[in-house]
A and B are shown apart, each in its own frame.
Chain A
Amino acid sequence: MDAIPAVRLDGVSKQFADSYAVHDVSLDIDAGHFFSLLGPSGCGKTTSLRMIGGFTDPTEGAVVLAGEDVTALPPNKRNVNTVFQSYALFDHLSIEDNVAFGLKRSGVAKAEIRQRVGEMLDLVQLDGLARRRPRTLSGGQRQRVALARALVNRPAVLLLDEPLAALDLKLRRQMQVELKQIQREVGITFVFVTHDQDEALTMSDRIAVMNEGRIEQCGTPEDVYEHPTSRFVAAFMGTSNLMTGTYRNGEVALADGPGLPVGRRAGIADGAAVSVSVRPEKIWLSDFEAGMSVLSGVIRETVYSGPTTTYLIELAPGVTLSVLEQNTARSRMEDRWSGGETVEFGWRPEHCLVLS
């Protein structure tokens, strides 16, 4: 990559009394990208965001924005703006004045402020509410005010700290789409913190999965979902059937279980203890093709949930896989398996992940 990254974290750590909230994180975020920091609560994603914003000082490392080291600069001297989880609107100011706050601070002319605030309120579809107070707005509307208030300053980077967490599911889905559209429209780099992997997968250009203060994996949504490089990422990104065993000759022998054919893997030594993961939707229950690994097991549970059906299949005592089938037009109800039946199932070796 030749272009200067919009955000670079260079060996950044944040240490509290006896523990690290963020531990030696290095990261490049390209200009114009929608970048997500994804992880469970307490993984350090919010602390990382706060260090980019300037609200928390790193104990080690440097924060670089567009090539400039800003580690020592306070928030008001950084060309980034934040959408806070609580929205943090100014209750004593009107919506208009909330949005105009940043422009006034930077001494923009009054006429221009009025124009830009108007445009921004249009963009987030809040025109007409300009004179209202934040308290009188709904959660979704407040969220838009927070977004407008940050975006109106045309920052190089917009930081968003779980901005959708407080919204109900339907509104959340709608805002996900809208947020992505707005990002494309304004072309600003978004750094988005979330614990919801669906949200991250739907919206992001790139995702960094964090755990215990470190970045576990960083890549495109497909990368992270399809090719997790660690057990944690595999388990955190959706459901995955994680099993442990010993790799030998293109097969993983499960403890007290059958060997799973996984294909030859370069870089994994015979006799290595490994984890195996297969996504539920990558497992077939019929129409096997040549080259697939086929095994058999007993159906323990059938869970119907509208468009899909999930089967829990016992492969060996204590080893249960979950298998997802689409309920397409071609599949018929009476063809569904029921509990106790022995079935064959299989997957392509390349869909089976082997993690050492």
Chain B
Amino acid sequence: MTLLRLPSSAAPTPARTRIRTRRRRAGRRPRILIAVTALFFALLYLPIAVVTLFSFNARKSLTVFDGFSLRWYRAFLQDDVLISSLGTSLRISLVAMAGSVVLGVALALGLVRCRTRLGSLAGLIMLVPLITPEIVTGVASMLLFKGLGVTLSTGTVMLSEITFSISYVTVILRSRVAALNPEVEEAAMDLGATRWQALRLVTLPALLPAVLAGAVLVFALVFDDFVLAYFTTGVDPQPLSVRIYSAIRFGVQPTINAVGTLMLAGSIALIALALFIPRLFGRRGGLDILSGE
């Protein structure tokens, strides 16, 4: 059977014709699958399209589009509370990114190279945030701060976001560290570098694409996150995502559409960038960054 299937230029015998039709049928794209996929994509982007569309609406309606206008964007720019929240969110994201990248990269290096019992324990601890729903992490963080008598503030949000983001950085970096050729670092030491110099001059540059991708991704995730922020933020200032959450729950103003559109655009750009960074360095593309494989 398999032998018969080999493509052949010989005159088609009846048997061969039959097989060919069957092949074509197997290779045909089933219309129903295509339709389901198309519908899926449509529904996936519909909410995003709706938010974007109504952010440009001239009227204060979420159902009828009544002409193009930038009034909601203008309203956002004139809203001091939202603007200061944006600043707060950016600050939180930057700090969380810096903190979690430093801790996460070091942790990834340690986890891969330290084959002790302590190492496997650390590996387990690292997984906890990934399998714990955010609401649990949020509740727990809030209780910890309250229990320690710390007043909730932007600072507490930063601490919690770092905690949560370390795992992301570590997961992204760990596979890259494991894929490093240990002989390269040895070569650096062989050529006179100390352990630290080898790390700085050889290992970190080799990890740079993944580090940058992880940093950008963490920035976007922290900027977007609202559950942890919601549980750990003080009253004022509040991160933008928490403001949006309150706004969505208690009466929607179209300004939210404008803010939402900007946030979506921003995070989509950042995540796309995170996927694209490894390509800039001539590595294979980076979907694996999100799946952690």
Contacts and interface: CB of A to CB of B under 8 A. Distances in A.
A and B touch in the complex (CB under 8 A): yes
A81 B183 contact: no
A150 B189 CA distance: 12
Interface string A31-52: 0000000000000000000000
B192 A105 contact: yes
A53, A74, A76, A81 interface centre (most CB from chain B within 10 Å): A76
B282 A90 contact: no
A341 interface: no
A75 B190 contact: yes
Interface in B167-223: 181, 183-184, 186-195, 197, 201-202, 205-206, 208
Given A86-B181, A90-B202, A92-B206, A76 B186 contact: no
A84 B188 contact: no
Given A88-B181, A88-B183, A90-B202, A82 B282 contact: no
Contacts of B181: 86, 88
A190 to B, nearest CB: 15
A348 interface: no
Interface residues of B, number: 20
Contacts of B186: 53, 55, 75, 82, 84, 88
B186 to A, nearest CB: 5
Contacts, number: 67
Given A76-B193, A76-B194, A91-B206, A86 B188 contact: no
A84 B192 contact: no
B192 A90 contact: no
A113 to B, nearest CB: 13
A114 to B, nearest CB: 17
Contacts of A135: 282
Nearest to B204: A92
A69 B182 CA distance: 26
Contacts of A153: 191-192
B10 to A, nearest CB: 37
A82 B184 CA distance: 11
Given A76-B192, A102-B192, A105-B197, A88 B282 contact: no
Interface residues of A, number: 25
A88 B184 contact: yes
A35 B189 CA distance: 23
Contacts of B201: 101
A89 B184 CA distance: 6
Nearest to A135: B282
B115 to A, nearest CB: 12
A135 B284 CA distance: 13
A211 B222 CA distance: 57
A92 B183 contact: no
Nearest to A99: B191
Interface string A75-113: 110001110111011111000000001100110000000
Contacts of B190: 53-55, 75-76, 80-82, 150
A55 B195 CA distance: 12
A149 B191 contact: yes
Contacts of B188: 90, 101
Interface string A153-168: 1000000000000000
A76 to B, nearest CB: 5
Contacts of A82: 186-187, 190
A105 B187 contact: no
Interface string A123-166: 00000000000010000000000000110010000000000000
Interface string A308-343: 000000000000000000000000000000000000
Nearest to B197: A105
A12 B208 CA distance: 40
A86 B183 contact: yes
B281 to A, nearest CB: 8
Nearest to A100: B191
Contacts of A92: 205-206, 208
A180 to B, nearest CB: 22
Which residue of B189, B197, B202, B282 has the most chain A CB atoms within 10 A of its CB atom?
B189
Nearest to A107: B192
Residue among B189, B192, B193, B206 with max Cβ neighbours from chain A (10 Å)? B192
A90 B191 CA distance: 12
Contacts of A90: 184, 187-188, 202, 205-206
A105 B195 CA distance: 12
Contact of A81 (B191, B194, B205): B191
Interface in B141-184: 181, 183-184
A88 B191 contact: no
A85 B206 CA distance: 19
B200 to A, nearest CB: 12
Contacts of B192: 76, 102, 105-106, 153
Interface string B254-293: 0000000000000000000000000000100000000000
A105 B184 contact: no
Interface of A: 53-55, 74-76, 80-82, 84-86, 88-92, 101-102, 105-106, 135, 149-150, 153
Given A89-B187, A149-B187, 7 more contacts: A75-B186, A76-B191, A86-B184, A90-B188, A90-B202, A101-B191, A135-B282
28 contacts: A53-B186, A53-B190, A54-B189, A74-B194, A75-B186, A75-B189, A76-B191, A76-B193, A81-B190, A81-B191, A82-B186, A82-B187, A84-B186, A85-B183, A86-B181, A88-B184, A88-B186, A88-B187, A89-B184, A90-B187, A90-B188, A90-B205, A90-B206, A92-B206, A102-B192, A105-B191, A105-B197, A149-B187
